[in-house]
Structure 1
Amino acid sequence: MTIDSGTTQTDGQASRGAGRKGFDEVDILWISEGLSCDGDTVSMTASGQPSIEDVVMGLIPGLPKVNLHNKVLSPTMGGEEYLAPFRAAARGEAANPFILVIEGSIPNQNIIEGDGYWTSFGNDETTGEPLPLNWWLDHLGPHAWAVVAAGTCATYGGIHAMAGNPTGAMGLADYLGWDYRSAGGLPIVNVPGCPIQPENFMETLTWVLYHATGAAPPPPLDEMLRPQWLFGRTVHEGCDRAAYYEQADFAKDYNSPKCQVKVGCWGPVVNCNVPKRGWMNGIGGCPNVGGICIGCTMPGFPDAFMPFMDTPPGGGLSSVLIRPYGAFIRRMRGITNAVVNQEPKWRHNEDAVTTGYDPHWRA
């Protein structure tokens, strides 16, 4: 049942606890005015399982009606018409419970000392001055039923937060607090990626929407607030090239199909499912198409993974230690491969059937 305009979300949650199953209608307020390239929005439109179109058009069984407010996909002409639901939500007057999606790093306005702004979204209705992203977070954060950070910039700061940046950029949890809880009782849901893998984000958003209806529990998150089922394994564990690592068979250049650890791949220590999931329609993914993993889903990105093309510190040691084992295993497998690549001798076109039956285990 949809919350009526003017009814607080806290009241709605209390009512749900008294027998209501959840919400029938939810707004998604998507702000990409963080320090960003808008690449996460563009990437999200490539999802097919589910697609954003299917969610908005109500084609996914069991989801609430979804009203998406995203500047790239908005049917409005922009301006005040587009800003209206954001302004209402900031006043605590949202017509429906809303999920706040933030794209882009959060700059530190404190270091400007009130003189100017790093990035803004709309203007103050009284003064006409630009409203910084931080103002919107301060006013929308307390009212949001759920908050989702889309992409590594929004989750952990990303490129804009690297050492030496002048903006003091940070991730959403660094700004709102790692102990932040939304009006729906949820922590921030971080979906990292530079940009997000399309299905990773839409699958997570769909889970949050099912939770809003009361049909699913909260999404399980790890200590860095990432969905556990998506980021619980490393790139290496799902990589098509992992067997080459086991056999100590390493690429020496980027044209090789072998393990790329020695040419700069951080896959063994990076939490990401892209090699298994692919990028679009199950196709692609960095190591799958010859690209090294540079750790773009990780909180330490990019500083902890630079310079990108150098062998990771642990890669040199691990590749040396595994070399004797890998060489032996590769040789033994080669011998076995040669044996099983031959047909048994009893398969012939002669005048007697020889089955090859040999009960050698009997006395």
Structure 2
Amino acid sequence: MASFPIRRYLTPLIHVLVWGLFGLSLLLLNPILGRFSIPPQFWVKQVLVFAFWVGAFYLTAYVSVPRLLFRNRIGWFVVAILLTAAAVMLLSQLTESWLNLQQLMDQHLRPPGGNGNFGGGGQFRPRPRRFDMMSLLTTLLVLGISTSMAAVQKWQTDTQRRQELEQQKVNSELSFLKAQINPHFFFNTLNNIYALTVIDADAARQAIHTLSRMMRYVLYETPSDVTSLSKELAFVQDYVALMKLRLTERVMVELEWPAPVRDVPIAPMLLLPYVENAFKHGVSATQPSRILVAVRQPTPQVLELEVSNTRFVAPATSLDEGSGIGLANTRRRLDLLYPGRYTLRVEEATLEGEFRVHLTLQIV
């Protein structure tokens, strides 16, 4: 059974209720009610004037304000407001004259037992017509509320549109960043496997199997906004295992993992660029080198990643220079996905002569 679309009818219902309360308040606050006999023409005029106010309200809200005020035509908007108020007052006076309401009210408002406005000889002497200041103030109040309502609605619409545009911009940028990271990683990996086929065919087959598992992760996990921490760490382990197949004994690789892993949601492909940077710039064919990849979970909500590698003079191991597309984009992804919830400390040269990255991430 389809649900009733309450949000679709909520705004018209609110308008009906507000106008009903407005009309009821005018009725209850009228000082002459309950004291004198009121002719039927009085109620006809009140209904027509109320209709004039309703028309002026929506004319201002949906015509004058959007076409004049929102287009910075302030002078013309003031003129339109004054003309609308004058039109309502003129129509009210014409209605009163058409109904001959002034004479009827003078006759019905005579005090009991008095002659009212009757002079000598019994001739009726109508009261002089007075300007209805209360109607003017009510008209201006209606026009002011109409202008305020239209301005607030536009502000809310503009705010919602800005938020939607910002969200679309962030989503597009994240998709662009992930699209840059993935080819960057796989191009390097395929080059490694190509070199490995010449050296050890069995190791190359194992590398292809590992790469296929990693590709499955990329195809099915990275399109989502988040993945589980265990899957992300398994992906990093596969990458490290793949890289170790082509390293010599001069390279020492140390891994530290939380045991057990407390699964929490994390953005996919977020940790790999730091590990990839270490293997890209921390390995030498002639000198001993060391790579440390440590993942810690002090609490289920906090994740720490420490990656350090031997620093060589030739290739500059910097997150901002010479470190490839992936690392620069990871910094940008952290700003977009975890604003104010991460700290990234980079040490270009430690006392041990290493390049070190320390990331602390507040996940949830």
Q: TM-score range by the shorter chain?
A: under 0.3
- Which structure's relative contact order is higher, taking Cα pairs within 8 Å and 6+ residues apart? 1
Hey, which of these two has a bigger chunk of helix by percent?
2
Larger Rg: 2
